[in-house]
Amino acid sequence: MTTNHSRGFKLQDALFIGFCATLLVALKSMLRLKLGLAGHSMLLMSFFYLTCYCTVGRIGAITACGVMAGAVAAILGIGNGGPLIFMKFFAPALAMEIVLVLVQRFTNLRWRLVIVALAGTLAWAAKGLIEDLLVGMSWQVALARFSWKVLQGGIFAVVGALLVLPVVRRLKAHDLVHSESKLDQEL
């Protein structure tokens, strides 16, 4: 007997990652929300990254999505970070991926997603901290701004993470998620 297992991202997984990355950047550029609330961008970021992970069900999906989103944003000049815009998308993705590997065997899926989203927020706020220090801001002010960003970004990131499961369950009900991973059984 033989079994046909594939390795790496399948075409449909790669397309879905690209779709998430593109939609994330497109929404961010089109909406241009001037809410005056620091951290609201973490809502879209945590939602799309974690949807990507839950749908593809493989380690590496978030990083791939982050790289793609960062590259698209840098090429199209979305946002006001210049070339550093790449880091804005990539750093949270990488942090989320690393924490995901660490917490993979702990707690249920919902809490894992929340923890991973918070990790992404820390990375996103840390990027802001480095920028603040590079422009000469004092440690005290930079840390205060960092803490405030973590708090506000964390709230949005958790909301984004909590939206993931209902969406992915609906995708699964429509037979759009059929990876043979442990994650698939948890949904």
Q: Residue 159 Cβ, how far from other proteins at the closest point, in Å?
A: 21
Alpha-carbon distance 132 to 77, whole Å?
Answer: 21
In the complex with other proteins, which residue's Cβ is closer, 4 or 108?
Answer: 4
Which residues have C-beta within 8 Å of that of residue 163, sequence separation ≥ 6? 47
Q: Does 110 bind other proteins (CB under 8 A)?
A: no
Q: Which of 47, 49, 53 is nearest to 162 (CA)?
A: 47
What's the CA dihedral at 131, 22, 43, 186 to 10 degrees?
A: -120
Q: Report the distance separating Cα 164 and Cα 68, nearest Å.
A: 20
Decide: is 180 part of the binding site for other proteins (CB under 8 A).
Answer: yes
Contact 94/126 with Cβ under 8 angstroms?
no
Q: Which residues have CB under 8 Å from 64's CB, separation 6+? A: 9, 14, 17, 52
Span from 27-35, 41-49, 146-154, 170-178 in contact with other proteins (CB under 8 A)? 170-178
Helices assigned H by DSSP within 33-137: 41-56, 61-76, 85-103, 109-134
Of the residues 4, 80, 108, 140, which one makes contact with other proteins according to CB under 8 A: 4
| CB nearer other proteins, residue 110 or residue 178 | 178
**Shortest gap between Cβ of 47 and other proteins (angstroms)?**
19
* Binding flags for other proteins, 5-24, as an x/- string (CB under 8 A): x----x-x------------
Task: Write the interaction track for other proteins spanning residues 125-164; mark x where CB under 8 A is met and - where it is not.
Answer: ----------------------------------------
In the complex, the residues that contact other proteins under the rule CB under 8 A are: 1-5, 10, 12, 169-170, 172-175, 178, 180, 184-185
